Structure 1
Amino acid sequence: MTRTQKTVFILVAILALVLGLTVNRVLSGSAQGDQIALIDAGIILLPQSRTVPDLSLTDQDGQPVSLNQLKGKWTVLFFGYTFCPDICPTTLAQLRQIKSELPSEAVDKLRIVLVSVDPDRDTPQQLKQYLGYFDKQFVGLRAPVDTLQKLANAVSIPYIPADTSKPGYTVDHSGNLALLGPDGTQRGFIRAPLNSQKLVAQLPGLVERK
């Protein structure tokens, strides 16, 4: 190899290294930018996905549903109840609005689920009627309190079981939403209060992930 050829080889190697570092920096910056945009929209992804126990619940049609049946789509779990005076109707109305503004491809990959924290009053019929006011595609799930607490603890969405002996009782619960991935594991949270505009912008990219 002549001196000229060596010089050319070294220059090409240096150029390849510089280009590689530049591309890596751009890609890293892009990934960091995506993460910042998600956080700004209230979407907090866990550094590592979390296994969710395969519990059995009942849906708004009175049919048994295991959590494993939620695989295949991104699932938003909202822990609330139909007699809730404020947080629940507001959140469900926002989720309906967000869904209506998403492209159809994103809607096909997304499932909205209300997990009732008031199984005493939220019968399947009550859940179905209530969710019908918002979106008939929304899923309602109910289960005994011990099962609900296992699920709530597993996805870190706290609620306090109510004293059902009191007339007109309310249930203290979080407005945050749990995010399950298509593999059935928990991928993160959506913080309350919801920012509809920013979620509409970020959810399509999120649901493309496997």
Structure 2
Amino acid sequence: MTNNSLNAVKTPAQKRGIAKTVALIVALMALFVAGFFHKMLQPRVMSEMELRVNGAVVFDNPRIIKDFSLTDQKGNAFKLENITGKWTIMFFGFTHCPDICPVTMAKLAQVYEKLDSRIAEQTQVVLVSVDPARDTPEKLTPYVAHFHEDFIGVSGDFLQTMQLTQNLNVAFRKVMLDNDYTVDHTGNIVIINPKGHYHAFIKPPFELARMITVYQSIVTTF
């Protein structure tokens, strides 16, 4: 009997059953392929050991940050409530810094632009000045905008700045020069979770691909 003869003897109900089976198989294959690519596109999750090897330390118990009162580059109050509700990448530096600060800020701009879109939407980057005497809002405005229009720059009086740095294990001190001064400071990048808790920090040197992978892993596993 030929194939044409076999097709001829199939009932309409049989043909509908075959069509449904084929459609189901195609749908399952499409779901499998979609799931595979979705998983491939997800940020990589790193183990605690991998994070440490790549310069990141995540606390088992994120640390409470006491309230503080600083001012952002627009002259608005910047307090604890401003670092809740989303992830905050925080760096401590100053506008007169000749090398480390601008290099780090430029690297953070690259990281921010290359984050997974869903993670970028829930992330803010904040520069906290450790030179409050010189870094007024007017000074911070063009400085942070130079690196990225979304970046936030904050400063305040010495005591308020010191309170925040102590909460985040960041050290800074004025170093006198001839007729001038500079500021030595911790170069770590601080990661604050959406609850406003000190969640992790990343140590230099900062390599682009490594920073992206580390940060997205931290956010993904929260």
Q: Where does residue 204 of structure 1 map in the other structure?
A: 216
Deviation at 1:98, TM superposition (A): 1.0
**Is the CA contact (8 Å cut-off) linking 1:76 and 1:179 kept in structure 2?**
yes
How many residue pairs match? The answer is 178
Looking at CA atoms only, which structure, 1 or 2, has the larger radius of gyration? 2
**Is the CA contact (8 Å cut-off) linking 1:176 and 1:191 kept in structure 2?**
yes
Superposed CA deviations along residues 16-71 of structure 1, whole A, max 9, x for unmatched, are xxxxxxxxxxxxxxxx9521222233221112111101101100001111122210
Mapped partners of 2:74, 2:151: distance in 1 = 12
Pair 1:116 & 2:153 matched: no
Pair 1:75 & 2:88 matched: yes
Mapped partners of 1:33, 1:198: distance in 2 = 11
Superposed CA deviations along residues 68-107 of structure 1, whole A, max 9, x for unmatched, are 2210111111110001001100000110111111121111
Structure 1 runs (4+) deviating above 3 angstroms are 165-168
Mapped partners of 1:82, 1:123: distance in 2 = 10
SS of the residue aligned with 1:207? helix
**Structure-2-length-normalised TM-score:** 0.75
SS of the residue aligned with 1:118? coil
Q: Where does residue 156 of structure 2 map in the other structure?
A: 143
CA RMSD of aligned residues (A): 1.8
Mapped partners of 1:69, 1:102: distance in 2 = 21
Q: Where does residue 152 of structure 1 map in the other structure?
A: 165
Residue identity in the other structure for 2:215: L
Of 89, 94, 99 in structure 1, the residue corresponding to residue 107 of structure 2 is 94
Distance 1:56 1:88, change over 3 A: same
Residue identity in the other structure for 2:129: S
Q: Where does residue 133 of structure 1 map in the other structure?
A: 146
**Structure-1-length-normalised TM-score:** 0.79
